[in-house]
A and B are shown apart, each in its own frame.
Chain A
Amino acid sequence: MVYSSLLYIYGFLPISLMLYYLTPRKWREITILLLSIAFCGMISLYFLIFISVFTIINYCCIKLIEKFRRNEKLASVPLVFGIVFDLLALFAFRTEYFTWLHRLIKAPEGFFPIGISFFVLSATGTLIDVYKKRLSCRCSLMRFSIYIMFFPKLIMGPLLRYGSFSKLLDSRKSSLSGIGVGMTVFVKGLAKKVIIADNLYMLYRSVQSSNFNEISAVTAWLGITAYIFCLYFTLSGVADMGTGIAYCFGIRLPHSFNYPLLSSRIKYFAARWQSQVVQWLRRYITKPLYNSSEKKWLWEAVFIFGWSLFGFWYTFDLNGLVFGALMGAFIITEARLREKKIMELTGIFYTFLIVILCSVFLSGSSFSYSVKYFLVMIGGNGTIADTQAFYLTKSYIVLILLAMYASTDLFRNMMTRSGKKKLKIALNIVSPMVVAVLLIICTALISYSGSSEMLLLKL
């Protein structure tokens, strides 16, 4: 079950909100857990068993580490076991080399534990935090289960530390206006996914399915632009939907994306794109390495390594690794070269160009394919534009412009930072209507198939 389906929006969501608000305040945490269990069970009973076993094993490791706290060597045994177990789970389902393991644990045909890339990192991080005694609160089984299974953050994060999540759970504030904000964010995410991402996916697919040796440079550019926007709107759309629902339950999860695509520096793009995952990698992997590297080039190598891991996390193959490494290298180059202030527009332009260049590698199915694709983009097939390119441009230009506008923070700034009082009042009056209309439009768009399950990347 995905958030952008009729069954979820008009079935699971209203029922779960009703159950939550009918429960007396002190029992509401249990309701959240039960709802999350129901959500996992509705993906499939096998998934529920899988994630429960995963949670319990990790919880046992945490308890063992806590028990052996005094003796670091002894405590490292459950730590290492836990990490190996988590990584095995991650690699088993994200790579293709473990089909024997799937058979061993009797996984149904085509089983993929949705959100595994997020909950494995969550669990591993908690193990390390407990071992390093960085966790201020005690870890309870119920809280930990909610932490792993909480349905609004199951599919697309955000990736939070156990401590932060626990605090968010404690500081729950439920109010009608909170639900309003939550629904606004949810509908925003739904619109990103259904209106923009799904249609750009058609453009991407239509370029993909063309004969690779015949497409023109413009078509190739359209294809990759569609890919990067589609990726952004899919990931951030699903994340927004989750954040919105969590908000309806009074839990204020942070945003994963902060309008990264049209940033004026690569550095800003990097800081705004799925920042929790980057922070996780920094906290648990690269930071200890930074501390031991004194020379500048060593430091930079670690930086690029961290970004390579980030890219690898997306695809689990060489292409993702190249994407990350290129990204890291460009950030460093930028930091070295760019001293002077330049025009913001120039900055936006070159940042977008670099992002597109890197995402050629993220989108490709193999390294050689990506290199070839890049060559086509610079005119390798000998045609700059053909009828197909004109046709696609004509068909999709409105959508691409819409996507560009929606990926900037212009609208948000108008909403929140505008000094003009009249404009603000006007925006406040129309915004509930806009949200309701968007919800209806999105419902219509998913009405035929009932859900929009395209996720571009299986995370």
Chain B
Amino acid sequence: MAKLTKLTSRITAVLTLSVIAFFFFMTVFGKKESFSIAENRKLADIPEVSLDGLYDGSDVDQLGYYVTDHFAGREEWISAKTIMQAELSEQIVNGIYIGKDRLLDAEVSLRTPASVNADIFSRYAENYDGTVYFAAIPSSSGVYGDLLQARGISRSDSQQITAFYEFLSNDIRKIDAYNILKMLNENYIYYRTDTKWTTYGAYCVYKTVIQKLGFLPTLYDKYSIQHITDDFRGNLYKKVLSAKVKPDIIDIYSYPDGAEVLSCEKTTNSGDTVESELYDLDMLDSSDMYSVFLGESAPLIKIRTSVKNDKKLLVIKDSYADCFIPFLIQHYSEIAVVSPEDMQKELSEYININDYSQTLFMFGVENLGNRSNLEKIIERN
């Protein structure tokens, strides 16, 4: 019997060491990509060894990220993890809740509260002559949070938006997108695999927003709707690579009898202006299909339309607004779309805000905690 035990140990040693050796060599000699299409992100680079980096250990941390990102078969490992972890615990993997028919961000409580940044917008309004509107958009876990009773997420986004609106100055007109969306949550208003709303979700809020801005909304049956893909997998999917939830459909709404886009100029960070379009269908072949709306991100996009009313609107936004902008072209002769996330300089370097009589802020509440991005819209004194 002792002999048998010894043999077993030997077999164990050979077996485990070969597993380790196999993945060691596969990882060391495997092909290295610098960008992961499945996860839609840049993978970690091998650290450049420096004395400072060794001194505080950051070089080895970086090496750890490098090994992790380039570990042989990473995508398969993550898919396998998602399947196993969901069995072990409450269906939450890598901070993502894997429900029967949708994925949700389960770490909402870790976000920086939006209300701490309310002062930025109030200060913007002080230096601005026109009217300011604000639409804070909940993320999918705010609208479908009931699926996640145990984490108190159901209330989180609505509370955040309420608190944020309370801190905003009274000069800013607030739009309650949360309750509109919450009421309609039987419909396909949020992507199943992304935190963002669908084009239909954006349309439902558009109807309210445009009335506040002083126009009548375009009726739903005037649009012709085009499904441009049924294979969209959003930012939540990229973290779990789980095939359990169906991929999403992206829709484009067009109004054939309505106003047309005359020009759509993008200003890049280098200062060049490039002609582009409202939709960039080439993006369907990239790892980030959502960029179909407005195409590749840029700090400033100026859209001129065939509407003849000399009304100009400034939209300061994050990616939530990308699918919302096309609805506005029926009402304004010029729309300037500013994305603080992509700005490298201050706002005044791109645009004079007082050329526009109305400003619409449209942000997902998940992005309102990021102070360093938002701060760029006010002058630093």
Whether the pair B67, A10 counts as a contact (CB closer than 8 A) is: yes
Listed from nearest, the 8 A-B pairs whose CB atoms lie closest are: A450-B68, A44-B57, A180-B9, A447-B77, A395-B90, A180-B13, A177-B9, A108-B56
Q: How distant is A402 from chain B, measured CB to nearest CB, in Å?
A: 8
Cβ of B111 under 8 Å from chain A: no
Q: A44-B60, A439-B20 are in contact. List 20 more A-B contacts (CB 8 A).
A: A5-B64, A10-B27, A111-B56, A176-B10, A176-B14, A177-B13, A179-B9, A209-B109, A391-B150, A399-B88, A425-B4, A432-B8, A432-B16, A435-B12, A436-B12, A443-B23, A447-B68, A447-B80, A448-B77, A448-B239
Whether the pair B11, A199 counts as a contact (CB closer than 8 A) is: no
Whether the pair A447, B81 counts as a contact (CB closer than 8 A) is: yes
- Chain B residues, CB < 8 A from A443: 23, 77
Interface members, chain A 179-217 (any B CB < 8 Å): 179-184, 187, 195, 199, 202-203, 206, 209-211
What's the Cα separation between A14 and B94 when bound, in Å? 28
What's the Cα separation between A46 and B57 when bound, in Å? 8
Known contacts A6-B68, A206-B90, A399-B88, A435 near B15 by CB under 8 Å: yes
Q: How distant is A13 from chain B, measured CB to nearest CB, in Å?
A: 7
Whether the pair B81, A43 counts as a contact (CB closer than 8 A) is: no
Specify the chain B residue showing the minimal Cβ separation from A436: B15
Residue of A181, A187, A388, A399 near B89 (CB, 8 A) is A399
What's the Cα separation between A399 and B86 when bound, in Å? 11
The digit string for B17-37, where 1 denotes a CB below 8 A from any CB of A, is: 101110110010000000000
What's the Cα separation between A304 and B38 when bound, in Å? 57
Whether the pair A447, B23 counts as a contact (CB closer than 8 A) is: no
Residue of B9, B19, B64, B85 near A451 (CB, 8 A) is B64
Instruction: Tell me which of A43, A109, A431, A448 has the highest count of chain B C-beta atoms within 10 A of its own C-beta.
Output: A448
Residue of B7, B54, B71, B80 near A41 (CB, 8 A) is B54
Whether the pair B12, A184 counts as a contact (CB closer than 8 A) is: yes
Interface members, chain A 418-443 (any B CB < 8 Å): 421, 424-425, 428-429, 431-433, 435-436, 439-441, 443
Cβ of A392 under 8 Å from chain B: yes
Question: By the criterion of a CB under 8 Å from any partner CB, how many residues of chain B are at the interface?
Answer: 55
- Chain B residues, CB < 8 A from A136: none
Cβ of B198 under 8 Å from chain A: no
Question: By the criterion of a CB under 8 Å from any partner CB, how many residues of chain A are at the interface?
Answer: 67
- Chain A residues, CB < 8 A from B239: 448
- Chain A residues, CB < 8 A from B253: none
Cβ of B6 under 8 Å from chain A: yes
Q: DSSP majority for the A interface?
A: helix
Whether the pair A387, B149 counts as a contact (CB closer than 8 A) is: yes
Interface members, chain B 262-287 (any A CB < 8 Å): none
Residue of A17, A43, A210, A392 near B57 (CB, 8 A) is A43
Q: How distant is A211 from chain B, measured CB to nearest CB, in Å?
A: 7
Cβ of B228 under 8 Å from chain A: no
What's the Cα separation between A288 and B369 when bound, in Å? 57
Whether the pair B20, A45 counts as a contact (CB closer than 8 A) is: no
Whether the pair A391, B149 counts as a contact (CB closer than 8 A) is: yes
Residue of A5, A42, A195, A432 near B12 (CB, 8 A) is A432
- Chain A residues, CB < 8 A from B1: 421, 424
Q: How distant is B217 from chain A, measured CB to nearest CB, in Å?
A: 39
Known contacts A183-B17, A399-B89, A447-B77, A210 near B150 by CB under 8 Å: yes
What's the Cα separation between A440 and B20 when bound, in Å? 9
Specify the chain B residue showing the minimal Cβ separation from A203: B89
Whether the pair B152, A209 counts as a contact (CB closer than 8 A) is: yes
- Chain A residues, CB < 8 A from B91: 395
- Chain A residues, CB < 8 A from B150: 206, 210, 388, 391-392, 395
Known contacts A11-B24, A180-B10, A440 near B19 by CB under 8 Å: yes
Interface members, chain B 142-190 (any A CB < 8 Å): 149-152
Specify the chain A residue showing the minimal Cβ separation from B89: A199
Cβ of A89 under 8 Å from chain B: no
Residue of A5, A391, A435, A441 near B90 (CB, 8 A) is A391
Give 21 pairs: A residue, B residue, CB < 8 Å, sorted on A. A1-B60, A9-B20, A10-B27, A17-B17, A44-B56, A176-B13, A177-B7, A177-B10, A179-B17, A180-B13, A182-B13, A187-B16, A202-B89, A206-B151, A398-B88, A424-B1, A432-B11, A433-B15, A443-B23, A444-B78, A450-B71
